């Protein structure tokens, strides 16, 4: 449980730094999901993009497209 708590704190702090850099946070879901408004198609620099350890996947959605809860 302490590992989940630590991951959650890290998730919040990385998202907060992205907001401080000017990105608009729309939703902060579980430890592995954050939704940002990125009209220029670039992910916040506070996140390491990829599929390896410590990296996150970037998923870009077209205007009008919906992402159901839990479909990350």
pLDDT at position 69 is 66
For residue 24, which phi and psi values (nearest 5 degrees)? -100, 115
pTM: 0.72
Half-sphere exposure of 55 (CA within 13 A, CB side): 8
**Grouped pLDDT means (10 residues each) for the chain, 72 residues:** 84 90 86 79 84 80 72 49
For residue 32, give both structure tokens.
């592995």
> Max CA-CA distance within the chain?
38
Parse the chain into domains and list their residue ranges. 1-61
Two structure tokens written together for 65: 């497209």
Q: Give Rg (Cα) of the chain.
A: 12
Angstrom distance (rounded) from CA 33 to CA 64: 20
Query: What pLDDT is attached to residue 39?
Result: 76
């Amino acid at each position: 449980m302490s590992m989940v708590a630590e991951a959650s704190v890290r998730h919040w702090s990385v998202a907060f730094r992205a907001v401080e850099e000017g990105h608009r946070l729309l939703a902060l879901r579980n430890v592995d999901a954050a939704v940002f408004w990125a009209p220029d198609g670039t992910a916040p620099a506070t996140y390491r993009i990829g599929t390896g350890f410590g990296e996150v996947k970037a998923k870009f959605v077209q205007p009008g497209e919906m992402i159901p809860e839990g479909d990350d």
